[in-house]
Amino acid sequence: MTAAEAPLAIVVKGYPRLSETFIARELAGLQCRGIAFSLHALRRPSADARLTRYEPRLACDYLPEYLHEAPLVVARAVAVAATLPGFATAARAFRRDLARDPGRARVRRFGQACVLAQRLGTDVRHIHCHFAHSPASVTRYAALLLEIGYSVSAHAKDVWTTPDWDLRDKLSEAAFVVTCNSAARERLLGLTPGCRLSLVHHGVAAKLVRPSVSPSTRDGSDAGAAVRLVSVARAVEKKGLHHLLEAVARLAGRVHVELAHFGDGPLLGRLQEHVVSLGLQSAVTLHGGRPHDEIITAMDGADILVFPADVAADGDRDGLPNVVLEAQARGLCVVACDAGGVGDAVHDGVTGALVPRGDPEALARRIEALCRQPHERARMARGALEMNVPLFDAARGHDQIAALLRQAAGVA
């Protein structure tokens, strides 16, 4: 649907992005529920777009990523924006924000908002965005220009690294706010106690659920039948992958394991160097970014999924990682570190094993114990299937978002 025809506009940071498959699934879920919307992105597809298999492949309007790359487009949009009913209000908000956050990025967001407002049809009634940092800023300015409402889905990095004043302004003015994990919910409510905030988990599609646990009896005692560990995460600081490599190194001589890691990212080269420095070339394979179906196949052949979550130096941390939910839905035992929203899905000793973050020895000990006890792996995996699969149902989350958007946009 074009921007001129849709009563609802949705703004994302980039589309498509492999690390944000949950957004694509939500968009498809909204379409299945009869929600008509136009889609707008602040950035063009990233390098991993070739690995994405989105359903459906939506037509996406790409705003100028950098204003100097489309000066005439931006100039025309600003001229049109100046005639809109909310220009004075939007300009005041922008100037106030620019005083606290001087720089090109803030100017870029206002320019993108002018382009977005120009492209939206006169019938648009509401704008919804994913992420409370730059997409929410663009969305807020555009909504002020058009004198319509907006709403925000907040997730992970945006919750923990956006300045408090910026979050307060954007969230307090929003018609509603949703977030996917309890830790983010607590932070946002602490900043804006009066905002209309809902906890809506991303969830797992029903077609991914395998209603039985991994039957493996590998116990790590045989070098020819090593326990298979799998990890799936972008190679960035908050994923704690260097701690996982150090934990695997500590297991040498204690139990036989092999680790397969899937995920690309800026630190992948450094991780490969760490594998070599630890002498783990025969035990660890870094596969890089792979399509989703290959990752599911790897999970189905594994014994334990390890998610060594951490908190980055700038405060960034995960929300509720989809890979944890998907592993649990496939009947796989999960060992994870306690950071961000991971604890929503991994209840220690019940739906998985939860260990302190940033502690390779504690992680190694927990992995070793579960390697030696296949029955414990199976027990926790069954617990996750029984408790988490019904709770983290993607369809339920899509129903909740659809209801909120129908009310906000005033559509049936």
pLDDT the model gives residue 19: 76
| CA dihedral (123, 409, 117, 194) positive or negative | positive
In b/e form, how buried is each residue of 371-391, taking b as 16+ CB within 10 angstroms? beebeebbebbebbbeebbee
Q: How far is CA 88 from CA 13, 104, 146, in A?
A: 26, 21, 11
**In the structure encoding, which two tokens stand for residue 201, read together?**
């988990």
Spatial separation of the C-alpha atoms in residues 34 and 412, rounded to whole Å: 9
Q: Mean pLDDT across the stretch 100-121?
A: 96
**Bridge partners (DSSP) listed for residue 284:** 259
Share of the chain above pLDDT 90, in %: 86
The full set of domains in the chain, from first to last, is 8-203+393-409 (3.40.50.2000), 208-391 (3.40.50.2000)
Helix (H) or strand (E) holding 15: none
In tens, the pLDDT along 26-61 reads 999 999 999 999 999 999 887 776 666 665 567 899
Best CA proximity match to 246, nearest among 359, 360, 367? 360
DSSP labels, 130-175: E-TTHHHHHHHHHHHHHT-EEEEEE-SHHHHHS-HHHHHHHHHHSS
pLDDT the model gives residue 2: 57
Spatial separation of the C-alpha atoms in residues 118 and 120, rounded to whole Å: 6
Q: 396 Cβ partners below 8 Å, 6+ apart?
A: 203
In b/e form, how buried is each residue of 201-227, taking b as 16+ CB within 10 angstroms? bbbbbeeebeeebbebebbbeeeeebb
pLDDT the model gives residue 3: 53
**Number of neighbouring beta carbons within 10 Å of residue 272:** 15
Share of the chain above pLDDT 70, in %: 96
Q: How far is CA 253 from CA 54, 116, 221, in A?
A: 43, 59, 10
pLDDT value at 412 more than 80: no
Best CA proximity match to 300, nearest among 212, 364, 240? 212
In tens, the pLDDT along 154-202 reads 999 999 999 999 999 999 999 999 999 999 999 999 999 988 999 999 8
Phi-psi region at 320: left, alpha or beta (left = phi > 0; alpha = psi -120 to 50): beta
Compute the half-sphere exposure of residue 106: CA atoms within 13 Å on the CB side of its CA.
Answer: 14
Spatial separation of the C-alpha atoms in residues 245 and 272, rounded to whole Å: 10
- Residue owning tokens 């063009």: 44
Mean predicted lDDT score pLDDT of the chain: 94
Contact 3/120 with Cβ under 8 angstroms?
A: yes
pLDDT value at 316 more than 90: yes
pLDDT the model gives residue 89: 98
- Residue owning tokens 């870094």: 286
pLDDT value at 84 more than 60: yes
pLDDT value at 1 more than 70: no
pLDDT the model gives residue 20: 84
pLDDT the model gives residue 161: 96
